[in-house]
A and B are shown apart, each in its own frame.
Chain A
């Protein structure tokens, strides 16, 4: 693949420094491309282009219907190249081709379509009724914020790019997107679709490069009005501090250590599959992964046996093969992190039930340093492996005796992003769900996120919501217009609080 470029003000340009950085296929360690390394100056140029496009260009003034037509066009263009984009996505990030084809690419298309629908159907003005005295009429207007920067992680690079671009531009904002450095390539393909979809120059800009320079600039630049970030909690805190300099709107989707509660009346066959899916999908490199399985003691032994038996059947191998369930982690350094936690778990007395090492039977040509076996521990919730987010294929199984205890354990975390409840008693499941301090709870399911429904976190898992009308409104300012409807001066009696003479 040729060297990639930045996309600023409708033009593909090299980084001002001329520097690039390499991106690799995690499964083989093979270099795929040299990516333009944006610095602070490139990020500034992109923000300035976005500012001009917002202040002087046609985008913010277009009707929702006009914007919607272009967003749908982006979706169509992505769909037309879906197989090619899925391959780029899987190859660059190490996720399976199955994930790219059935989650990443269609999920991004669905996101553009959903926000096209919202742009078209959401009124810009709402009549808020009349005030009796002084006689007045109130209207609320929904308006774009202005320039939004979006900073996204490497676990779902294409989908997350869609989550940041689509709602922002649907609402009339302009955007500067920074993909994660491990996975810059698919976002470039998304921006190519934007370019083809008759979206004016400067409305969507792309800078690829390090967070320490380009990312920092996108979070603090005075011309940026809103920052949307998905990634680690510590970086989220950094972004809030940088954004505070000019009091920007901030939305954050951060870490998690979500609990999957398996009640004694659950369909164990289904729940076992669900817990494994909730944990090991994409090697556990998913913010809302259900990495703590809380299992009722009455069914504990049987259920844990099921988990262990099934975990051994997860197919590990070449992520470009449709039959592979689990490919490499994003990089060998992520495997190092996973290994470190496995050792910490053993040191703390957690019981290793399966996994706990790199696979030894990978096909020739695959890089064994990037793979790790699905690992299951019997643990206590106070252990490091149960409290810290590992972002690797590690599940902690923790027994409980009552629903109240399960809820207490589930909530004993600094995070609150996802969670699951497995029970045949729907009322019981919903009662537990209502007590979980977390942004999403799946009942008898896991990981299902749809572009029409809100997603986000409680506690240190984030601020604000993405997706659906909730996510759309995070990109819209609210303006109250008060119109005094008095026909004579008696309707302005409040003026007398200042002086009777004005």
Chain B
């Protein structure tokens, strides 16, 4: 895994460096609302299996072993920054910004067009549930 950063990300790091007195560190982690994302923290211990995988704006980027294994080689993960609300405790959230991961080209990724789905005949024969409408009894339901 090899991580680099955009110039905009480096500038955002510079602002954090001016505002904070402690040592800055990037950590890449996963889970829940942020999915896999970079977090910029002050005085943070990245963890026992974390290793440096790059630097952005002079700040080391750490990633845990399982993520390094998922992204072998150096085909490129790029840290960028966007103007957006974020939920993490990453420092840039204070400035209304958010560090994000991009692919090596730094380009927005566009998915393929919707593919037609072929359904086996045996399945077509099974009755599927039509468009759901809530039963009348449920419309006024309240838990407890």
Residues of chain B lying within 8 A (CB to CB) of residue A341? 35
Residues of chain B lying within 8 A (CB to CB) of residue A109? 142-144
CA distance A339 to B101 in the complex (A): 12
Asked if A309 and B117 sit within 8 Å, CB to CB, the answer is: yes
CA distance A322 to B135 in the complex (A): 12
Complex partner residue of A154 from B87, B89, B143, B144, CB under 8 angstroms? B87
Residues of chain B lying within 8 A (CB to CB) of residue A306? 123, 126, 128
Question: Does A153 make an interface contact (CB < 8 A)?
Answer: yes
| Count of interface residues, chain B, beta-carbon cutoff 8 Å | 67
What are the interface flags for A339-350 relative to B under an 8 Å C-beta threshold, 1 for contact and 0 otherwise?
111110010000
**B29 to chain A: closest residue by CB:** A234
Question: Does B136 make an interface contact (CB < 8 A)?
Answer: no
Residues of chain B lying within 8 A (CB to CB) of residue A450? 143
CA distance A451 to B144 in the complex (A): 10
What are the interface flags for A427-443 relative to B under an 8 Å C-beta threshold, 1 for contact and 0 otherwise?
00000000000000000
14 contacting pairs across A/B (C-beta < 8 A): A114-B144, A210-B93, A211-B87, A216-B89, A219-B89, A231-B34, A232-B33, A234-B28, A237-B47, A306-B126, A309-B117, A333-B100, A360-B114, A389-B35
Asked if B144 and A356 sit within 8 Å, CB to CB, the answer is: no
Question: Does A79 make an interface contact (CB < 8 A)?
Answer: yes
Residues of chain B lying within 8 A (CB to CB) of residue A353? 115, 117
**B110 to chain A: closest residue by CB:** A339
Known: A211-B86, A308-B118, A325-B132. 5 other contacts (CB 8 A): A181-B93, A235-B87, A238-B44, A340-B102, A391-B35
CA distance A336 to B106 in the complex (A): 13
Binds B, one of A7-15, A124-132, A196-204, A310-318: A310-318
Asked if B30 and A331 sit within 8 Å, CB to CB, the answer is: no
Question: Does A397 make an interface contact (CB < 8 A)?
Answer: no
Asked if A269 and B126 sit within 8 Å, CB to CB, the answer is: yes
| Count of interface residues, chain A, beta-carbon cutoff 8 Å | 92
Complex partner residue of A234 from B37, B113, B132, CB under 8 angstroms? B37
Residues of chain B lying within 8 A (CB to CB) of residue A181? 85-87, 93
Complex partner residue of A233 from B29, B94, B138, CB under 8 angstroms? B29
Q: Which of B61-92 contact A (CB under 8 A)?
A: 66-67, 70-71, 82, 84-92
Asked if B33 and A154 sit within 8 Å, CB to CB, the answer is: yes
Decide: A355 near B133, CB < 8 A? Known: A234-B88, A287-B32, A387-B66. Answer: no
Complex partner residue of B101 from A234, A235, A340, CB under 8 angstroms? A340
Question: Does A102 make an interface contact (CB < 8 A)?
Answer: yes
Residues of chain B lying within 8 A (CB to CB) of residue A336? 100, 108-109
Residues of chain B lying within 8 A (CB to CB) of residue A315? 131-132
CA distance A412 to B86 in the complex (A): 29
Residues of chain A lying within 8 A (CB to CB) of residue B127? 269
Asked if A21 and B70 sit within 8 Å, CB to CB, the answer is: no
CA distance A157 to B19 in the complex (A): 30
Residues of chain A lying within 8 A (CB to CB) of residue B94? 39, 210, 212-213
Question: Does B23 make an interface contact (CB < 8 A)?
Answer: no
Complex partner residue of B93 from A106, A155, A212, CB under 8 angstroms? A212
What are the interface flags for A108-128 relative to B under an 8 Å C-beta threshold, 1 for contact and 0 otherwise?
011001100000000000000
Residues of chain B lying within 8 A (CB to CB) of residue A231? 32-34, 87-88
A: residues with CB less than 8 A from B are 21, 39, 79, 82, 98, 102, 106-107, 109-110, 113-114, 153-155, 180-182, 210-213, 215-216, 219, 230-239, 241-242, 254-256, 268-269, 273, 285, 287, 301-302, 305-306, 308-313, 315, 322-323, 325, 331, 333, 336-337, 339-343, 346, 352-360, 373, 384, 387-392, 414-415, 450-451, 460-461
Chain A nearest CB: distance from B70 CB in Å?
5
CA distance A305 to B123 in the complex (A): 6
CA distance A451 to B142 in the complex (A): 13
Question: Does B18 make an interface contact (CB < 8 A)?
Answer: no
Asked if A21 and B96 sit within 8 Å, CB to CB, the answer is: yes
Cβ-closest 10 pairs across A and B:
A255-B31, A234-B29, A233-B31, A305-B123, A106-B143, A212-B94, A212-B93, A210-B93, A110-B143, A211-B89
Asked if A238 and B86 sit within 8 Å, CB to CB, the answer is: no
Decide: A102 near B138, CB < 8 A? Known: A21-B96, A110-B143, A340-B109. Answer: yes
Chain A nearest CB: distance from B101 CB in Å?
7
Asked if B100 and A313 sit within 8 Å, CB to CB, the answer is: no
CA distance A141 to B45 in the complex (A): 37
Residues of chain A lying within 8 A (CB to CB) of residue B66? 387, 414
Asked if A238 and B41 sit within 8 Å, CB to CB, the answer is: yes
Decide: A238 near B89, CB < 8 A? Known: A305-B122, A357-B113. Answer: yes
Residues of chain A lying within 8 A (CB to CB) of residue B110? 339
Asked if B88 and A211 sit within 8 Å, CB to CB, the answer is: yes
Residues of chain A lying within 8 A (CB to CB) of residue B108? 336, 339
Residues of chain A lying within 8 A (CB to CB) of residue B113? 356-357
Residues of chain A lying within 8 A (CB to CB) of residue B130? 313
**A383 to chain B: closest residue by CB:** B70
CA distance A346 to B67 in the complex (A): 18
Complex partner residue of A309 from B47, B87, B128, CB under 8 angstroms? B128
CA distance A329 to B89 in the complex (A): 21
Asked if A234 and B30 sit within 8 Å, CB to CB, the answer is: yes
Asked if B34 and A308 sit within 8 Å, CB to CB, the answer is: no
CA distance A210 to B90 in the complex (A): 9
Asked if A153 and B87 sit within 8 Å, CB to CB, the answer is: yes
Residues of chain A lying within 8 A (CB to CB) of residue B36? 388-389
Complex partner residue of B88 from A232, A309, A313, A322, CB under 8 angstroms? A232
**B96 to chain A: closest residue by CB:** A21
CA distance A356 to B123 in the complex (A): 22
CA distance A110 to B143 in the complex (A): 6
Asked if A254 and B89 sit within 8 Å, CB to CB, the answer is: no
